[in-house]
Amino acid sequence: MSSPCSSCAGLTCVVDTLSVSSDTGAIAFRLVSTQRVIAVVGPTATGKSDLGVALALALGDAEIVNADAYQLYRGMDVGTAKVTPAERRGVPHHQLDVLDPSEDASVAVYQREARADLAALDERGRRAVVVGGSGLYVRALLDRMDFPPTDPAVRARLEERAEHEGTRSLHDELTALDPVAAAGILPGNTKRIVRALEVIELTGGLFSSHLPVAEHVRPAVQIGLDSPREELDARVAARVDRMWDRGLLDEVRALDAAGMGRTARRAVGYAEALEHLAGRLTAAEARDATTAATRRLTRKQMGWFGRDARTVWLPATAPDLLERALDVVARADAGTLDVPATGEPTRRSLGS
C-alpha cells in the first residue's frame, strides 16, 4: 500500500509488510521511498536525449528509461537517432534494443516492462529519467492508463455486424450502452466503435471507465523542450542529413533483408527509405519526404505535449538548459513547483 510521507518532500512512500507477530498480531512495516521520476519530453530534434544524459550525470544517482517507440527496436539506430554507447557516457539505459524489427510494438507490454524498470530502480535507490517523444508511451508509463482485454472472435463478430448493419447502427448501440464513450467517438470511426463495444462485452463495464486519465501514478515532473518552428525545422533538416550521411539506407537494406514487421516499416525515415529501395522514389525524393514527414511529426508532438499543463517548458537551445532543468527538478522535489496535479488541457502554443 502507499501513503503520503511528510518526511519525503511530498513524495509517496510504498509501505511493505515485513512481518506479523504470532504473539500479538502486530505488523511491522518498512518505508521504501519512491523517487520522483523526471520525464524529458517534446518534439523530435530538440535534444531530449542529450539533456536526459546530462541530467542523469548531474544528479549522480539516475538512469535513463527510453520512451521512444522506435528506439525499442534492435538495429534501428541511425534512423531513430538512438544514443550510441559513447553518447550514453556510462549512464545505464533501459528499454533500448528490446524488440526485433519483425515484432510489432505494444504499448501495453511497454507499460508493464518499463514500470518494472522503475520499480527496480527504486529498489536500488536510483531515480529514473524518462526520455522520449512518443506521447502515448510517456502517458502509459507515468499516467493512469489500463488496457482492457481483447478477443479476436468478439471483434470479428462486431466488425461483421458493422459491415452488414452499418457503423451508424453500432454507434447508436454504443450511445445507449455508454453515452460518454460514444460522445468521444465519431459515428464513422468503425475501429474505435468496435473496440468500445468489444470492451463492454468482455468486461461488463463501461468503455469510458478505461479511458486514460492525465494523473501521475507515481511522483513525477515533466520537463518539455520547446523550439521556435523555423529553428526546429532547420534542426530537423540537419538531422535528416545526418541520418542519410551516416548510412540510413544501408541500415534499412539490412533490416529489410532480415524481415521488418508492420510497425517498424512505418517509422519515419524507414518508410521513405524502403520506398527508395523499392524503386518508387529517387534518393532525393526519399530524403525530402523524410524531412517533410519528420516536420509533420514534430507538429503532432507539439500538439500532444502542449496540451498537458503539468509540463514545464524550457527553450531547447538555452545555454544554461541543464541548470534550468536541475532547478525544475529541485523545486519539484521540494514541493514548490507550481504545476497542476492533473494534465488538464492548456492553450499553450509551442514552437512559436
Residue 34 among known ligand-binding residues: no
Residue 343 among known ligand-binding residues: no
Residue 45 among known ligand-binding residues: yes
Cross-strand pairs, 38 = 129, 221
Dihedrals φ, ψ of 12, to 5°? -95, 140
Q: How many CB atoms lie within 10 A of CB 224?
A: 24
CA angle, 97 then 138 then 49, to 5°: 55
Amino acid 162 reads A
Tell me the angle at which helices 48-59 and 321-334 cross, rounded to the nearest 10 degrees: 60
Residue 303 among known ligand-binding residues: no
Residue 49 among known ligand-binding residues: yes
Residue 42 among known ligand-binding residues: yes
Would you report the helix, strand and coil content of the chain in percent, each value rounded to 5? 50, 15, 35
Residue 167 among known ligand-binding residues: no
What is the residue whose three cell numbers read 513525477?
220
Residue 46 among known ligand-binding residues: yes
Binding site feature residues for substrate:
44-49
Binding site feature residues:
42-49
Binding site feature residues for ATP:
42-49
